[in-house]
Structure formats: structure tokens, C-alpha cells
Amino acid sequence: MEYDRGIKKILIFAAKNFQVWKRDNTVFWAIIACLLWSTAYSTIKIGLQYDSPLHFAGLRFIMAGLFILPFTVRPSVYFALLKEHWRIVAWVTLLQTLMNYILFYLGMDLVPGALGAVIVGSQPLVTAVVASIMDKSEKLTRRKIITIISGISGVILISAGRQAFRLGSTIEILGVFMILTANIATATSNVMVSLRSRGINPMVLSSSTLLIGGFIVYMLSLAFEDIPESTKPAEYWITLIWLGFMAATAFSIWFRLLQRPHVKVSDLNLWKFIIPVVGAILSWLLVPGENPEWLTITGMIIISISLVMFYKNGTKVRTV
């Protein structure tokens, strides 16, 4: 009898949460998307041991777009949607896939890892500011500002616990500017998807932008990079396949959540504070020499408490 009750509870939980199209599961799926994204940093490091940055990114996004295609719509409907909504497809491709990832890869190559992690971790703040400018319904409330400040403080502690901060040369300042610009591009893309993508299937939007953007990045790599010619080991291909699957799944989920009429872009992006938390844990598990530090653990606790308090104290993400 107890066993049957346990199975029933699991089935009820699955029915409520494991369909991204259901009503009251926005927070659940936001966390799933962020958990997927948190695996990117350690796996990208593995892949870049064997490939150049843009070539690797281009292959990853092409693969991601192809992964989604079978789950979208009939080809005739697919191209009809692209023709009807070509503006939002073009904007998301430019901002999310091209500007964001090209500047991110190049910027991270110029700055110390800890500093880069903090700047990337400031994305919820950048998104909140951009959203408040582009959308009158997005307000920077006191509770949201406190959560953002707490989250960034946690990110700083996590990064400080893993690597010393350093910023001195002009080239490093350029790297900081590139990563900040990448954050602004992503934030603008998120707001545009929320405001202007009604009517286009989110999986069509994610697959088309990943395919088009991935192809452009791949062609740029052929023009500007020295691509390693050596045969790639199995580790490289496993990493590439995972990153492609991860991008396909996370972007499809995220675009669907952004399309929900009453979801606030800035509220949704607060969950991205968990990315450095999980990323640090994965580094402890996967990277030799990485061990827990008290600063890192303190930062994790601060981020966790700030997110729990933000949503516990009356902020609920309403969905369709």
C-alpha cells in the first residue's frame, strides 16, 4: 500500500512538472534550463583543448539546431513561420547566437577566469536594467534589487574562492567590455522574445536561430581561425554532442517560458544565479585540483537564500 502511494505521488509530480506546456511549472523549468547551461563551462574547456573557439561553437549550434528539427512542425509550416516572423528570427540570431557567443568566447579568452565569471554572473542585473528600459511593465522593485545585489555578491565570493582577481592590462579591459556587451545582447534578445515572438512556435524559433547563427559562426571560423587538422578523440565528440543537446533543450525551454504572457523577463533571469553555483560543484567533481573553499560555499549559501526569499515573499511567476 505504501509502495502504491509512493508511485502515485511520483506520477502526480511528473504529470504536473514534466510537460513544459503546463501552467504552473515556470520556476521548475527555469531551474532545469539553468542546470543544463551550468554544464557548459567545464565541457567547453574540454572541447577547446582540441578545437578553435568559433569552429567549435559553430559546430555546436548547427548540431543543436538539427537536434530540435524533428520535434518542430512540418517543413511547409516551418518555412511559413520563418517567412511570417523573419524579423524576430533575425534579431534573435544576431543578438543571442552571434553577438552574445562570439563576444563571450573572445572576451573570456582575454580576462582572468574569476573576473570573467563575475561579469557573466552579472547577467540578471543587466537583464533587469534592459527589461525596465524596453518594457514598462518590468519594474526594478526593492526586493528584486536586493536579490540581484545578493546574487552578484554570491557570484563574487564563488569566483574569489576559486581564483584570485586580476585586472591590469588594456587587453583585459577590452575583454570585460566584450563580456558586458554579450550580456546586453542576451538581455535584449530575451526581452524581444518575450514581447515580439507571439505566434511562432518556440522550437521553430530556437532551431532556426541556432542553425542560422551556427552556420554563420562556422563560416567565420573558416575565414579567421587556424582550425586544428588532427583527428579528434572520442572525448571531443562526446563533449560536442552534449553541448549541442544541452543548447537545443535549454533554449527551447527558455524561449517557451519567455513567451508566457505574464512571465517577467527579469524575474525569470534571476534563476541564472544558480549557474555559477552548479558550475562550481561540477568543477569540484570533474576538474583535478578543484576543491571546495569557504568563500565559494558562502557564496552558494547567499545565492540560495536570496532566491528562496525572493520567491517565498510573494513573488510568483504567473503563466498561461
For the cut 50, the answer to whether the pLDDT of residue 223 exceeds it is yes
| 23 domain-assigned | no
pLDDT, tens only, 246-273: 999 999 999 999 998 878 898 888 888 8
pLDDT, tens only, 301-317: 888 788 777 766 654 44
Overall domain count for the chain: 1
* Owning domain of residue 174: 33-312
| 17 domain-assigned | no
Confidence (pLDDT) at 14: 47
Lowest-pLDDT range of 1-15, 181-195, 236-250, 281-295: 1-15
pLDDT, tens only, 111-132: 765 566 677 777 888 888 899 8
| 75 domain-assigned | yes
Which residue in 259, 266, 127, 131 sits closest to 196, CA to CA? 259
| 8 domain-assigned | no
| 64 domain-assigned | yes
**Rg of the chain over CA atoms, in angstroms?**
20
| 67 domain-assigned | yes
| 319 domain-assigned | no
Residue 290's pLDDT band (cuts 50, 70, 90): low
* pLDDT cut 90: percent of the chain above it: 32
Sign, Cα dihedral of 11, 16, 17, 20: positive
Cell of 45: 574547456
Q: Which amino acid does the sequence have at 288?
A: P
232 against 287, higher pLDDT:
232
